[in-house]
Structure 1
Amino acid sequence: MTLRGTIAKQVTIKSDGDVFLNIYRYRTHLISQMSPNLVKAIELQDSEWGAVGSIIVWHLVIDGTPKVAKEVIQAIDEEKKSVSFKVIEGDIIMEAYRTFMITIKVDTRNEENVVTWTFDYEKVNENIGDPDNLIELYLIVAKDVENYHLLQPN
């Protein structure tokens, strides 16, 4: 059994893909207002919103339990419309994984915008499962962000 893994899941959104990605890049702190049942708070710990090297602390609820993750923005690709985060601390990931990278990418196909979440990780041992429940949570939060955005006046 391998300790390294990658999982990716997609969700189609009706809201503008660029606006959606910019929320995760520049206005991350607002996600707790858009998905309050799952995201309790998001704090900028170092640098500035939307910059490579920024450190962001997420306070989430996973399976009814409060959890924390500290991430650093590793890469931003304007052309590919993607942002990559490396989890550096926190009980969400570090109890089970040696390394954990999260990438969000938005593709526009005709009139549709497809958000792809990709998790690249290394488990601490073979008894650790894949982070399926975590990626499902990210998909739910993405839909919450979309729904919030669609309700806003133009």
Structure 2
Amino acid sequence: MALSGKVSIEFGIQATISQWFNLFHKNLSHVQNICERVHQAHIHEGDWHTIGSVKNWTFIIDGKPVKHKEKIEAIDENKKTITWSFFDDDLGQQYKVFILTMELNEKDDGSYLLKWTIEYELVNENVEPPYSYLDFLNKSSKHVDDYLVGA
């Protein structure tokens, strides 16, 4: 079994690209109030929106709380992408590398697509690839999209 890889999920969204990008770029702290699977989030170092800033998060993954730190690695306002690295705490016990990228695109027909990609490296061969995180992203994204459409 390979210890590193990449997994992704892509689906249509109803809210606009600018609504999604604004939430995750300028109002990330609100995600904990929107998604029931996000239980806690607070600043560890820096602020909510600057590259290099570190936050502490608790997500519910497979019905259990998972703690980790998150750092913004890159923001591309033109391409509407944001990349974060996740590390330490519970997550760090399973993954040496865990990089999440959010990509927002408009299709030719004017509809919108959201793509989440996780690049990872497992700590050992007994750890599963992060499919449960894709499930978390899928379900949480539906909550976010419903919130943004209603906003």
Scaled by the length of structure 1, what TM-score is found? 0.91
Q: Percent identity between the aligned chains?
A: 26
Name the SS of the counterpart of 1:51 in structure 2. Answer: coil
CA contact (8 A) 1:29 1:41 kept: no
Partner in structure 1 of residue 134 of structure 2: 135
Mapped pair 1:52 → 2:51: yes
Partner in structure 2 of residue 90 of structure 1: 89
After superposition, the C-alpha distances for 1:38-75 in whole angstroms (9 at most, x for unaligned) are: 11122122222221111122111122211212111011
CA contact (8 A) 1:97 1:123 kept: yes
Amino acid in the other structure paired with 2:38: V
Partner in structure 2 of residue 22 of structure 1: 22
What is the root-mean-square deviation of aligned Cα atoms in Å? 1.3
Q: Mean Cα displacement is larger for which, 5-14 or 46-55? A: 46-55
CA contact (8 A) 1:99 1:123 kept: yes
Amino acid in the other structure paired with 1:120: E
Scaled by the length of structure 2, what TM-score is found? 0.93
Alignment of 1:1-154 (within 5 A): 1-35=1-35, 37-91=36-90, 93-109=91-107, 110-152=109-151
Stretches of structure 1 lacking an aligned partner (at least 5 in a row):
none
CA distance in 2, matches of 1:25, 1:57: 17
Amino acid in the other structure paired with 2:95: Y
CA distance in 2, matches of 1:17, 1:115: 8
Stretches of structure 2 lacking an aligned partner (at least 5 in a row):
none
CA distance in 2, matches of 1:19, 1:90: 31
Name the SS of the counterpart of 1:22 in structure 2. Answer: helix
CA distance in 2, matches of 1:106, 1:73: 17
CA distance in 2, matches of 1:53, 1:150: 30
* Offset of residue 111 of structure 1: 2.0
Name the SS of the counterpart of 1:127 in structure 2. Answer: coil
State how many pairs are aligned. 150
Q: Mean Cα displacement is larger for which, 38-47 or 136-145? A: 38-47
* Offset of residue 25 of structure 1: 1.8
* Offset of residue 90 of structure 1: 2.3
